[in-house]
Amino acid sequence: MIPALSAFIGLIVLAWGVGIPALDSAAGALPWAVREQALYLSGLLAIGLMSLAMVLATRPAWLERPLGGLDRIFRVHKWAGILAGVFAALHWLIELSDDLLKSIFGRGERPHGEESGGLLENLREAGEELGEFAIYLMLAMVVLSLLKRFPYKFWRHLHRAMPVLYLMLAFHAAVLAPVEYWTQPAGALLALLLAAGTVAAALSLGGRIGRERRVHGVVTALSSPAPDITEVTCRLDGEWRGHRAGQFAFVGFERFEGAHPFTIASADRGDRSVRFQIKALGDYTRQLSNRIAVGQAVTVEGPYGRFVLGRHDRQAHQIWVAGGIGITPFLAWLEALHAHPDEAPAADLHYSTRDRAHDPFVARLETLCAGLPSVTLHIHDSSTDGLLTAERLSALHDARQRAEVWFCGPRGFAEQLRAGLARAWGRRLRFHQEAFELR
């Protein structure tokens, strides 16, 4: 995530730097020239990152390979939006510094604004007003996105306004950019970003995001293996492309509720049947078992994700770790390997549960692993054994051997394992994590 955003920001700064005019060092001119260039650079970074966020919001499947999956794409999208808000706020503060500079340096040889009139002048005035209004709203959206206590069901609807805010900011950037920019690298890059962002905004407003990967189906089976787990099996129509074990999809049971991402907990058997194990983690999922029924229509968009077994390093020891509902992609892995047991790698599957005796997945895991001799199952019951830690995990494996960890579970659990295992294995360890978050 960090390298991708750093490279993108570096590209914008480079384009700005190539076309920056020479600063006039005459008395009183330098502070104003610096302010002007800071205003341009902060504006370029704000609209550039906002354009990137808009493009990534369209769920571009072609970027999954270079960025490592849709979960990583959404993380870049999130931080691009946050940084866009930071630079937009900086841009606004620099604009307000006019009176401060006057009081310190006087008007001096302040850079003159571009001469314009008629329609262009009216467009510039409209662009200034729209931009200021949109910046206030965008900053409010960024704050709400960071407030986890703000209910997702409300945030999701507010977030739909982002394409409109983007178009307002794009108009602001287009009409207020210096005329000479359009013949320089900064202008070419700005034009490309505005075009891409505008197309993405139009796709979002038109409800076309993910439409080519969306299929319809019906719920064929429904059960509750545990009080907080809803198991849903769906049969999809002929347009379903199939999936790889470990991938996820956006599932919509109700039109106005929208789609939610769930890991596909079953292997692809070629019959267009998919199964989801949905844990009650929020208002929607807690009520789900009472809101759906067998025969009900369902919409599934996908599949997405790169948490797939085919990417494993065949030269490294495989350590698979799941916490709670994070076991779902591994259930799909094990089912898929049952069809081709000779392809199963030597692996240790560690499943951390709060109560082994009442866990609905333990018996299923034991049955699946019994048919795969190369996969060793380890059940860690936190109620009796305490939490699974990096130290306990390291003690069970040879840290001198190259290892590859695949993890799916709570974020805090992942962070402590990643840090602890890195200390034990160093560069001999690779850590893969499904890190999907909608906000």
pLDDT tens, position by position, 88-104: 999 999 988 877 777 77
pLDDT tier at 21 (50, 70, 90 boundaries)? low
Domains in the chain, ordered, with CATH? 2-205 (1.20.120), 215-304 (2.40.30.10), 309-433 (3.40.50.80)
Q: pLDDT tens-digit profile of 198-231?
A: 999 999 999 899 999 999 999 999 999 988 899 9
> What is the mean predicted confidence (pLDDT) over 313-325?
91
The reported pLDDT for the residue numbered 116 is: 54
Structure tokens at 401: 């051997």
* Phi-psi group of 187: left, alpha or beta (phi > 0 → left; psi -120 to 50 → alpha; rest → beta): alpha
Tokens 């990137």 correspond to what residue?
A: 52
pLDDT at 138: 85
The CA radius of gyration of the chain, in Å to the nearest whole number, is 26
261-270 pLDDT, tens digit per residue, is 999 999 999 9
Phi and psi at residue 299, to the nearest 5°: -120, 130
Instruction: Band the pLDDT of 383: cuts 50, 70, 90.
Output: confident
At 23, is the pLDDT very low, low, confident or very high (cuts 50, 70, 90)? very low
For residue 356, count CB atoms less than 10 angstroms from its CB and return exposed for 0-12, middle for 13-18, buried for 19 or more: middle
pTM of the model: 0.87
Q: What is the mean pLDDT of residues 8-33?
A: 75
Q: Which amino acid type is present at position 181? A: Y
Query: Residue 26: its pLDDT value, please?
Result: 45
Residue 25: its pLDDT value, please? 45
Region 354-383: mean pLDDT is: 93
In which residue are the tokens 């295992």 written? Answer: 421
The set of long-range contacts for 426-431, using a CB threshold of 8 Å and a minimum separation of 24, is: 428/399, 428/400, 428/401, 428/402, 428/403, 429/402, 429/403, 429/404, 429/405, 430/313, 430/316, 430/403, 430/404, 430/405, 431/405, 431/407
pLDDT (average), residues 338-343: 88
- Interacting residues of 410 by C-beta distance below 8 A, sequence separation 6+: 323, 324, 326
Q: 295 with 232: CB under 8 angstroms?
A: no
Which residues make Cβ contacts (< 8 Å) with residue 25, sequence separation at least 6?
A: none
Q: Mean of the pLDDT values across residues 37-59?
A: 95
User: Rounded to whole angstroms, how far apart are CA atoms 52 and 77?
Assistant: 7
Q: Helices marked H in 97-215 — which ranges? A: 98-105, 118-146, 152-159, 162-176, 185-205
CA neighbor of 169 nearest in space, from 275, 84, 285, 61: 84
